[in-house]
Chains A and B, each alone.
Chain A
Amino acid sequence: MPAENGNGENGGAEARGEGSVATSADRLVDLYREMVTIRRFEEACQRGFRQGKIGGYLHVYTGQEAVAVGFLDSFKEGDRVITAYRDHPHALLLGSDPKNVMAELYGRGSGIVKGKGGSMHLFDVERGMMGGYGIVGGHIPIGVGIAYALKYHETENICQLFLGDGAMSQGAFHEAANLAGLWGKDGQCPCLFIVENNQYGMGTSVERTTAMTDLAAKFDAYGIEHEKVDGMDIEAVLEAAERLTEQVRETGKPYAVEALTYRTAPHGAADFFEKYRSKEEIEEWRQRDPIGILENKLLDSDAADEEKLEEIKGEAKELIDEAVKFADESEQPPIEELYTDVYSGEDEYTGEA
């Protein structure tokens, strides 16, 4: 069942990118603010990591902001979102306080998951954030189950399931996509798969992981319609997000979007050398930086002037500085927390040695 959109004769390399949605100037400015805030947040994380304040693995979203910002703009109350470990923007965009998110990264008791998960495991279930996950592909079946449950409980909600290009080589992806397609036949799986194709899984490019590099088209195998979108162009993403979230909501059938994007930061904060790609390549993509593109648009269309943009950047910096300060000043989790949350209910903990 080939999808109609964005999958031309030439193998579907062209993405939809017309940005046809009528976006008001104010709204674009708001989105600009979100993107800038996320970028500042990620930069602060990298700084914290270099200072030794943040431990473990740290994966930032730099360069990909338009994807999460654009799709989560169509988030409706009661919807759910699930993603892998590159999860800071998803939590922030759903309304989690940057202070608690940063505190989590700093390993503090005031962290969003009490200092128990770190960067890779942000949850804010009340706001619909069903987690960040560290096993590549592992969250995909879970997201499909969440979508199924939303229908089982007869809600009008959907699950936005973000996944990486690399994750699409996992069995878990293929099994989950098969289930989604199957359950979608009866309108029982309102799941929007959003492939954040940032061209690489760690240091391995898509071309080096599969002979079938049209990732969206892989969903054909499971009866799931799909398209591509230019993930660097916020207006294009917004258009796709609005249309597709509504479609999934109405039909109860899954749908897949491959957002073509690029991670300009290293894969993990501890990666100093990048043997797998050239400086030139990174530079080329930087020319298409989603924040840069939007900045130009705002200036060209007089939606905002330099002064306004500077003001927004200043405010974002202030917000993130505060978050860092809060994290830095917060206490580590109380040691008793070691043994809580292992079990739910009466046997909070049954295996203490």
Chain B
Amino acid sequence: MAETKTYREALREAMVQEMERDENVILMGEDIGVYGGTHLITDGLIDDWGPKRVMDTPISENGFTGAAVGMAMMGMRPIVEMMTWNFSFLAADQIIQHAAKLRYFSGGQVQIPLVIRGPNGGGVQLSAQHTHSLENFYGHFPGLKVVAPVTPNDVKGMMITAVRDPNPVIFLEAGALYGTKGEVEDGDNAVPFGKARIACEGDDVTLIAYGRQVNLCLRVADTLEEEDGVSAEVIDLRSIRPFDEDAIVASVEKTHRAVAVQEQWRWFGVASEVAAIIQDRAFDYLDAPVERVSGAEVPAPYARNLELAAFPSDKQVANAARRVLYMEEK
């Protein structure tokens, strides 16, 4: 059974389901309770679950994230909301220096079943300090798992998996897409980490993305089909760490051409990793160098036209695809 739901509803459903299943699951974060959550993900939950399961915290990201690490060490399973991921830099010490490494430097004596979630990425004119795409930043650190679901079904299924995972999970939501709708499976639709999704099948070129950029790639696939007679395959990575190398390699072996698309900055980004993996494992299959399409190397601007210019556009991605196909750009 499946029903049409928004990304927001699907996400909330997953958390509620897991809270029902396990008393150790609690929600905590700034203004998630009485206020209802800045993005209304947790709206109303405090009425059903009370302040012990849905805990409002003071504005102290490092403090409450650290406390959640301690709770997780003790067997609780906190789901911490970062009001937006931009504020997570304040908690970076707890996330990177503690949550990610504790299991290792304790010689395996503890585990940290902790989910940190919140909206990530730009597109709604929030400008420089409130716009980041942090997949590569957190993806860099061993000990963390990093996921970026884009469909309502995935956001539910991956949240279920995240809560049950015994490791710290960085759960990067597509902040601009909370209101988008899609089919969501009922019940337990746990989606495993480390398995990419083929968002649309094709034969001529592979477009690889995650988060909001998957939707862009799907639009571009339509355009290429209509305007250029090109059949593009779109891969939604879903999970950055663990990373599904096999899915990319299999697709490139079929299409011989790849474009990696990311909202984040080009340097040291996920797209570079994708390109490196392809040259490592599918070099002989390539008919053209891998293209990367990334955000402009500037802090995110405010004005709508500037913001649009700062993120990958349909046109840029379509032209990158045309280039790897040695076709005329448009």
Contacts and interface: CB of A to CB of B under 8 A. Distances in A.
Interface of A: 80, 82, 111-117, 121, 123-125, 130-131, 133, 135, 138-150, 152-153, 171-172, 174-176, 178-179, 182, 340-345, 347, 350-351
B107 A145 contact: no
Given A145-B66, A146-B73, A175-B62, A123 B166 contact: no
6 tightest CB-CB pairs across the interface, nearest first? A145-B70, A141-B66, A175-B63, A113-B107, A145-B67, A149-B74
Interface in B57-94: 57-58, 60, 62-76, 93-94
Contacts of B71: 145-146, 148-149, 152
B203 interface: no
Contacts of B102: 131
Interface stretch (B9-17, B108-116, B314-322): B108-116
Nearest to B112: A344
B106 A117 contact: yes
A147 to B, nearest CB: 8
A287 B110 CA distance: 42
Contacts, number: 161
A82 B43 CA distance: 36
Nearest to B70: A145
B52 interface: yes
B5 interface: no
Nearest to B242: A350
A341 B67 contact: no
B93 A123 contact: no
20 contacts: A115-B107, A116-B107, A121-B105, A123-B106, A133-B98, A138-B66, A138-B97, A141-B65, A145-B66, A145-B67, A149-B71, A149-B76, A171-B62, A174-B63, A176-B63, A342-B143, A343-B143, A344-B103, A344-B167, A345-B165
Contacts of B76: 149, 152-153
Contacts of A153: 74-76
Most-contacted residue by chain B among A113, A142, A351 (CB, 10 A) = A142
Given A131-B106, A145-B73, 16 more contacts: A113-B105, A117-B107, A123-B110, A138-B97, A141-B63, A142-B70, A142-B73, A143-B70, A146-B70, A147-B70, A172-B63, A179-B63, A341-B107, A342-B103, A345-B167, A347-B167
B63 A112 contact: no
B194 interface: yes
Contacts of B167: 343-345, 347
A341 B104 CA distance: 5
B86 to A, nearest CB: 18
B107 to A, nearest CB: 3
Contacts of A350: 145, 194, 241-242
A346 B48 CA distance: 34
Contacts of A145: 66-74
Interface string B189-206: 000011000000000000
Interface in B146-187: 165-167
Contact of A175 (B60, B165, B241): B60
A226 to B, nearest CB: 19
A6 B74 CA distance: 34
Contacts of A340: 108
Interface residues of B, number: 46
Given A149-B75, A152-B52, A178-B58, A142 B105 contact: no
A114 B70 CA distance: 22
Nearest to A350: B242
A123 B106 CA distance: 6
A146 B94 contact: no
Output the residue of A135, A152, A174, A175 with the most chain B CB within 10 A.
Answer: A175
B64 A179 contact: yes
A141 B107 contact: no
Contacts of B26: 152
A144 B111 CA distance: 17
Contacts of B112: 344
A123 B107 CA distance: 8
Most B-side CB within 10 Å, residue of A80, A141, A149: A141
Contacts of B145: 343, 350
Nearest to A345: B166
B73 A341 contact: no
Contact of A150 (B57, B74, B109, B142): B74
A133 B94 CA distance: 12
Contact of B103 (A80, A152, A341): A341
A116 B70 contact: no
A141 B102 CA distance: 14
A112 to B, nearest CB: 7
Contacts of A80: 74
B108 A114 contact: yes
A182 B58 contact: yes
A133 B93 CA distance: 12
Contact of A138 (B94, B103, B110, B241): B94
Contact of B69 (A113, A142, A150, A342): A142
A148 B67 contact: yes
Contacts of A182: 58
Contacts of A149: 70-71, 73-76
Given A111-B107, A145-B66, A341-B107, A135 B73 contact: no
